[in-house]
Chains A and B, each alone.
Chain A
Amino acid sequence: EVQLVESGGGLVQPGGALRLSCVASGFTFNNYAMSWVRQAPGRGLEWVSSISGSGGSAYYADSVRDRLTISRDNSKNTLYLQMNSLRAEDTAVYYCAKDLRPGTTGWFDPWGQGTLVTVSS
């Protein structure tokens, strides 16, 4: 069974930093692109970033480029999101998600349970 377990969320002050982790199991991790998608309270889904299976290619939403960095450690089956210069508008539940098929399809299945990031003073 595929499982994705996020951690690292919490309360951080504006301008602060946080690193999210997503530990994967139940599939060959390095064969699949992985992504982060967020959802602000009471709002819709927003794609944040994706990374290829090898880690050689990464993609970002304009709203987070240069502040958030996606990475992966295939030896640890773990996906990361380094979040710097955080703003109030980054407050959201952050989900990690696996690509549906090997490679990069941009279709997400499954998703983790999410971790809440709150940016507030």
Chain B
Amino acid sequence: DIQMTQSPSSLSASVEDRVTITCRASQGISSWLAWYQQKPGKAPKLLIYGASSLQSGVPSRFSGSGSGTDFTLTISSLQPEDFATYYCQQAATFPLTFGGGTKVEIK
């Protein structure tokens, strides 16, 4: 199985900060990576697929990059509604696997 390792597991940031979350796959997955945002008590929401494609309706301050084993989610200017937990997920092969999550909290 492909293991997905996210870092950090949590971070504190201020509004308008630039935030970067990383995700590493235990083996190469090309660009078969997605990022999701989850707020407390809510279902996850797809932000990025194909490592760097922005899902329709998602603000352009979110961006994704990387291929192979190393990936990054960047929020260029953190907004109050962005405080949430973020997960990466590989879709290269079954079983599909998620990273452990990164909780973005208010500083």
Contacts and interface: CB of A to CB of B under 8 A. Distances in A.
Given A44-B101, A45-B98, A100 B44 contact: no
B95 A62 contact: yes
B46 A112 contact: no
Interface of A: 35, 37, 44-47, 50, 59-62, 95, 100, 105-114
B94 A59 contact: yes
Majority SS of interface residues in chain B? Answer: loop
Majority SS of interface residues in chain A? Answer: strand
Interface of B: 1, 32, 34, 36, 38, 43-46, 49-50, 55, 87, 89, 91-92, 94-101
A111 B100 contact: no
A7 to B, nearest CB: 15
A50 B98 contact: no
A59 B1 CA distance: 13
A59 B95 contact: yes
Given A45-B38, A95-B44, A106-B34, 16 more contacts: A44-B87, A44-B99, A44-B100, A45-B87, A46-B98, A47-B89, A47-B95, A59-B95, A62-B95, A100-B46, A106-B96, A107-B46, A107-B49, A108-B46, A109-B46, A111-B45
